[in-house]
Amino acid sequence: MTGIARPRAARRAALAGLLGWVAAATLPAWAANRPAVLSQPALVTPKASGAATLAVARAGNRLVAVGERGTVLLSDDHGVTWRQAQVPVQATLTAVCFADERTGWAAGHLGVVLRSVDAGATWEKQLDGIQAAELVKQAAQRSGDTKAMVQAEQLVKEGADKPFFDLEFVDARRGFAVGAYNLMFATEDGGKTWAAWGPRLPNPKTLHLYGVRAYGRTLVIAGEQGLLLRSSDGGASFTVLQSPYKGSYFGLLRTRGGALVAYGLRGSAYRSTDEGAHWDKLDTGVPMALGAGMALPDGGFVLMSQAGDALMGAASGSGLRRIPAREPVPVSGVALAADGSLVLASLRGMRRLPALPVH
């Protein structure tokens, strides 16, 4: 991905996974019928622990990781050992988050959104790409925007081939999912119903949305080609933020102190302390993409590079400390285990690092 506008067909080829890490060729344009993998449960296999994983999150003291072909892994010993959960789909999962110790969501390819109420042990499907496309069409029709209606009709025609890239739930009822080609959905009832918000975003190029963070009435979105959007009224309206970078952002985090950190291509990372109005460049010292990040309890944060380097940021925002990779693996997700260890989701399975000091 680059900061240069690309034809729609070329952009589609990148959707097999964030940063092109998950195998692939161009995603197919599905017919109106529902793909079989949306109704087939994920295969239970001893090889699951070594499967490509794309995200990991905490559910109380439990760790929950998600990845290719609907694989969900659970660990109750801080990432030392893993077991497989029951999942009703075989679609690759790219994001996972928990609102409390038991209630969480996972999302990914084919427009899938899943919900768990038992800390990730079992899951139910709440949304898929066929349903999502119809919701986008309905929202476009209500907006009266001719261009949005044309795009929505195309979305319905193409079927369930669009992935979600990030999830954000502020509590067990209110949440958001963002993804490819301007996909954004919101729920106010824990995912029982979803509303398509894409038509209300000022994103005429339908750029991919890679990260979303919500707090209070504020939502901030980071995406392709330096896209930064913000809502200050709970999502009723959005404005475009002036971006300090024209390359793609692959993630967005918010620290305990309220700072935003956007990160992405070529080791680029920027920090804002005024809800995205202004951004300061962080010197990462790495040339490769940053594909994962998380806030730390002490107010700091950690960013992970595609090569497995950890970049530790202090709460003061004074700089980043680079911890070279012990093993050069493409990291796509990171979580802090209850024992203080960093647990990494990667294309080579799960990894565990001892607690790393920020200072």
What is the reported pLDDT for 327?
84
CATH number at residue 345: 2.130.10.10
The answer to the question of residue 1 being in a domain is no
d(CA 164, CA 108): 5
Answer positive or negative: Cα dihedral of 17, 19, 21, 25: positive
Please give the average pLDDT of every successive group of 10 residues along the chain, which has 359 residues: 38 40 38 77 89 96 97 97 96 98 97 98 96 90 85 84 95 97 96 94 96 96 98 97 97 96 97 96 94 95 94 86 88 95 94 69
The answer to the question of residue 202 being in a domain is yes
The answer to the question of residue 3 being in a domain is no
What is the reported pLDDT for 15?
43
What is the reported pLDDT for 127?
96
Which tens digit of pLDDT belongs to each residue from 125-173? 999 999 999 998 998 888 888 888 888 888 888 877 889 999 999 999 9
What is the reported pLDDT for 280?
95
Domain that holds residue 97: 8-353
Contacts of 236 (CB under 8 A, 6+ apart): 200
The answer to the question of residue 98 being in a domain is yes
* Angle (deg, nearest 10), helices 146-158 and 129-143: 170
**Residue 144 DSSP class:** T
Count CB atoms within 10 A of the CB of residue 40: 14
The answer to the question of residue 58 being in a domain is yes
Count CB atoms within 10 A of the CB of residue 269: 25
What is the reported pLDDT for 357?
54
**Tokens of residue 269, six digits:** 């990372």
Taken as a whole, the chain contains a residue count of 359
d(CA 218, CA 229): 11
Confidence (pTM) = 0.89
The answer to the question of residue 269 being in a domain is yes
Q: What's the structural domain count of the chain?
A: 1
Q: What DSSP element (H or E) covers 11?
A: helix 8-12
d(CA 331, CA 346): 4
**Tokens of residue 321, six digits:** 């400390």
d(CA 13, CA 24): 8
The answer to the question of residue 190 being in a domain is yes
d(CA 101, CA 120): 10
What is the reported pLDDT for 32?
46
Q: Is 105 exposed, middle or buried (0-12, 13-18, 19+ CB in 10 A)?
A: buried
The answer to the question of residue 54 being in a domain is yes
